[in-house]
C-alpha cells in the first residue's frame, strides 16, 4: 500500500509520497485485520450512510399531473437552439417536404388595427 497525494497544482495527478519498505503477502495478513483505511481510522466502525428519502410532495397527485404537463416542455429551449443553429429557423427536416409546416412570423400590431373604445 502506498501513500498517494493529489495536488491541484499538478492537475490532481497522483504523486507517491511514501511506500512501505517491506510488503506483506496475502498469506501473512490475518483474516480479522481491518484492511479498509477509513474503517481502521474510525476504530473498526462503519459510517452510517442514511437513505435519502424523496420529498413529501412527490406522492401528491397534483405533482404527478404537473410532471405530465411539463413533459411536453422538457428540453424545449435546447431543441429550439439546435433547430436555429441547424436550419436557421424554427423548422425541421419535414418543412422541405411540407412547406405549410413552416412557422410564420406573427404580424406586427399597428395602431390602425387596434380597436378604440
69 lies in some domain: yes
**For residues 89 and 82, what is the distance between their CA atoms, to the nearest angstrom?**
10
18 lies in some domain: no
Which domain covers residue 97, as residue numbers? 56-101
Q: How many domains is the chain built from?
A: 1
- Determine the pLDDT at residue 41: 81
45 lies in some domain: no
Grid cell for residue 9: 497544482
- Determine the pLDDT at residue 72: 80
**For residues 12 and 5, what is the distance between their CA atoms, to the nearest angstrom?**
9
82 lies in some domain: yes
- Determine the pLDDT at residue 74: 84
- Determine the pLDDT at residue 35: 75
92 lies in some domain: yes
Q: What is the DSSP string of 55-81?
A: PGGGGSHHHHHHHHHHHTTTTHHHHHH
Can you give the pLDDT of all 117 residues of the chain as single tens digits?
Answer: 788 899 888 888 999 999 888 888 888 888 888 777 777 788 878 888 899 999 999 999 999 999 988 888 888 888 888 878 887 777 777 777 887 777 777 777 776 655 554
- Determine the pLDDT at residue 63: 94
Considering all CA atoms of the chain, what is the largest pairwise distance in Å, rounded to the nearest integer?
97
- Which residues fall within 8 angstroms of residue 4, CB to CB, at 6 or more apart? 14, 15, 16, 17
- Which residues fall within 8 angstroms of residue 87, CB to CB, at 6 or more apart? 95
- Determine the pLDDT at residue 115: 56
Amino acid at each position: 500500500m502506498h501513500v498517494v497525494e493529489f495536488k491541484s497544482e499538478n492537475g490532481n495527478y497522483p504523486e507517491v509520497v511514501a511506500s512501505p519498505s517491506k510488503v506483506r503477502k496475502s498469506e501473512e495478513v490475518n483474516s480479522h485485520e481491518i484492511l479498509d483505511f477509513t474503517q481502521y481510522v474510525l476504530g473498526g466502525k462503519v459510517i452510517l450512510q442514511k437513505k435519502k428519502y424523496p420529498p413529501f410532495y412527490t406522492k401528491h397527485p397534483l405533482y404527478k399531473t404537473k410532471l405530465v404537463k411539463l413533459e411536453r416542455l422538457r428540453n424545449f429551449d435546447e431543441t429550439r437552439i439546435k433547430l436555429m443553429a441547424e436550419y436557421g429557423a424554427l423548422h425541421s427536416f419535414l418543412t422541405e417536404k411540407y412547406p405549410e409546416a413552416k412557422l410564420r412570423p406573427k404580424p406586427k400590431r399597428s395602431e390602425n388595427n387596434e380597436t378604440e373604445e
